[in-house]
Amino acid sequence: MSIPFTSVVKSLPDTIPFVGPETLERKYSKPFVARLGANESAFGISPMASEAITNATNSTDCSWYADPENFELRTLLSQKHSVPIENLCVDAGIDSLLGLTVRMFVEPGISVVSSKGAYPTVNYHANGYGAKIHSVSYKDHHEDTVALVDAAHTHHARLIYLANPDNPMGTCLSPDSIQDMLKELPEDCLLMLDEAYVEFMDQMPLLPIDVSDPRIIRFRTFSKAYGMAGMRIGYVIAHKDIIAGFNRIRNHFGVNRLAQIAAAASLRDTAFLPEVTELVKLGRQRIYDLADALSLNYLSSSTNFVAVDMRNHEVANKLIESLASGGVFMRKPMVAPQDRFIRVGVGTEEEHQHLERALIPLIQAIS
C-alpha cells in the first residue's frame, strides 16, 4: 500500500537535521572525552534545581501531568522580565516553539526568511509546513539585518528568523539594528528573535522587551546557561494575542513536570546564573588564548562557544573529523564563507585540556 502522507510530507527528503554525538560515539565505538560541539553547558544545573527534582522523584510528581498552564514558572518569569504572565508561553524548548510559530503563521507557499548557514531548525519546521525558504548571506560574520528585511519585502515573507547572539558565529547585534528591522518590517511579517544565548551577551545592551508590539516573538531557553538541554524547556515572550495563538495549538501537556520544577528552582537560585556566566567568560578566554597560541584568528563571542578561523573549509572539515576520532566532539558552520571556521564550545577545564592535547598536534601538522 502507498502510505497516504500529506502532499508536503510526501515531498520531503529523509532528513537528519543534526547528527547527535551519541551517533558518532557508536560510529567510533568509544565515548567522547570532551563534548564541545552542541553548545550545551559544561557546568550542570543549579544545585537548587538538582535538589528540587531529587525530591520530586521521591514523591508523586513523576506520576502526575505537569500544570498545563505552567503557572508557577510563568509567574517567576513574569517577575524576572517584568512582563505580565499573559505575555509568556512555556513549551519543550525553543526548537518546539519555533515549530509552533511556523505552524501558526505559515502554510504551503508562504515565505520565511533566514540567513545562509544560520541555526537550521526554523528551516526544518518551515519545510515541514511547505514554506518557501529564502536565505541571505551573513555580512562580516554577523547576520545582516538590512538584507533580511529586504528579502522579506521581495518575497512577501510572513516570518524572519534572527538569532541574537548568533549560532554558529557567536556574534551579536546592537539593539538599534534590531529596532531598525522592526521599523522596516513588511506588513504581515513577524520577527522571530531567537535569544538562546542571551544570558552570555555581555558586549551589547539588550533590546528592551516591549510586549505591546505584536511583530516580535522572543525565544528563550533553559538549555544553555541554565544547563538543562536534556530536560527540554523554553519559553516565548510576546504580545498577548500571539500567546493566545500558541495556546490554540500547543501541546498543553508537552512540558516535562521535572523540567518545570527544575526551571522554577533555577530562577529562584539567584547565585547560579552569575556563576555560570563567569565560568563561560573564563572558558571563552581559554579558547582565545589557545587560538592566539596557534596563531589562529577567532571572533569575539557573546555565547558559550567561539568561532575559530581555520582559513580553509576543507581543513576545518578534516579537523572536525580528526578531533572526533580523537575523542573530542565539535561542530562547525556548514555554509561558505563561514564554513572555514570551527565552533569551539566552552567546556570544563578538563575538557579544554583534552581539546588542547588533541588540537595542538593537528594544527602543527597542517601549518
Ligand X SMILES: *Cc1c(COP(=O)(O)O)cnc(C)c1O
Site residues (CB under 6 A) for ligand X? 39, 93-95, 119, 163, 167, 194, 196, 221, 223, 229, 234
CB of 145 to ligand X, least distance (A): 16
CB of 95 to ligand X, least distance (A): 3
Q: Which is nearer to ligand X, 124 or 288 (CB)?
A: 124
CB of 252 to ligand X, least distance (A): 18
Strands 190-194 and 216-221: parallel
Q: Which is nearer to ligand X, 119 or 298 (CB)?
A: 119
Alpha carbons 249 and 34: distance in angstroms, whole number: 39
Q: How many residues are recorded in the chain?
A: 367
Alpha carbons 99 and 108: distance in angstroms, whole number: 14
Closest-by-Cβ residue to ligand X is 93
Stated as kind and residue range, the H or E segment containing 308 is: strand 305-309
Alpha carbons 367 and 362: distance in angstroms, whole number: 9
Q: Which is nearer to ligand X, 98 or 291 (CB)?
A: 98
CB of 162 to ligand X, least distance (A): 10
Nearest to 329 by CA among 15, 18, 22, 16: 22
Per the DSSP assignment, residues forming a β-bridge with 159 are 112, 190
CB of 224 to ligand X, least distance (A): 6
Q: Which is nearer to ligand X, 186 or 227 (CB)?
A: 227
Q: Which is nearer to ligand X, 80 or 311 (CB)?
A: 80
Q: Where are the extended beta strands (E) located within 196-260?
A: 216-221, 234-237
Strands 305-309 and 341-345: antiparallel
